[in-house]
C-alpha cells in the first residue's frame, strides 16, 4: 500500500516527513512500519497504532497517514484505497 501511495503521488522517500500506520485489532502478526523499513525508508519517523474496535467495522484494514513535503495543492493528492477498503471512502477512492 505504501508503494502505491508513493507511486500515485509521484513521491520519493525524501518527500516523507513522517508516517503513521493504524491497523484493525484483528491484525497482530507484525508492525506495519516493518514493511516501510523493508522498502528502505529508514530515516523517517514511523509510528503504529491500533484502530478502535468498533462492532461492524471492516476487518483486516491498515491505514497510512503520510506527512509529506509537496508544492501540490491538496486537490491533486491521490488518496489510495486498495481492495475492499475502497468502499470506506467512495468519494475520494482512486
| Residue with the three cell numbers 477512492 | 93
Residues in the chain, pLDDT under 70: 90, 92-94
Q: Annotate 6-32 with three-state secondary structure.
A: HHHCCCCHHHEEEEEEEECCCCCCCCH
The parent domain of residue 20 ranges over 2-89
| Per-residue pLDDT tens digits for 16-28 | 999 999 999 999 8
DSSP 8-class letter at 44 = S
- Paired sense of beta strands 46-50 and 62-68, if any: unpaired
**What is the domain-level CATH number for residue 76?**
3.30.1330.40
| Domain assignment present for 61 | yes
Per the domain annotation, does 32 fall within a domain? Answer: yes
In a domain, 24, yes or no: yes
Give a yes or no: residue 65 inside a domain.
yes
Question: In total, how many domains does the chain have?
Answer: 1
Q: Is residue 23 part of a domain?
A: yes
94 found inside a domain? no
Comparing CA positions, the residue from 69, 90, 71 lying closest to residue 81 is 90
pLDDT of residue 86: 80
Amino acid at each position: 500500500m505504501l508503494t502505491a501511495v508513493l507511486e500515485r503521488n509521484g513521491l520519493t522517500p525524501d518527500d516523507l516527513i513522517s508516517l503513521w500506520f493504524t491497523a484493525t485489532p484483528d491484525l497482530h502478526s507484525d508492525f506495519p512500519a516493518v514493511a516501510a523499513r523493508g522498502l528502505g525508508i529508514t530515516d523517517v519517523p514511523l509510528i503504529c497504532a491500533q484502530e478502535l474496535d468498533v462492532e461492524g467495522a471492516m476487518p483486516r484494514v491498515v491505514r497510512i497517514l503520510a506527512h509529506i513535503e509537496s508544492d501540490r495543492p491538496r486537490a491533486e493528492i491521490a488518496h489510495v484505497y486498495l481492495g475492499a477498503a475502497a468502499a470506506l471512502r467512495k468519494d475520494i477512492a482512486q
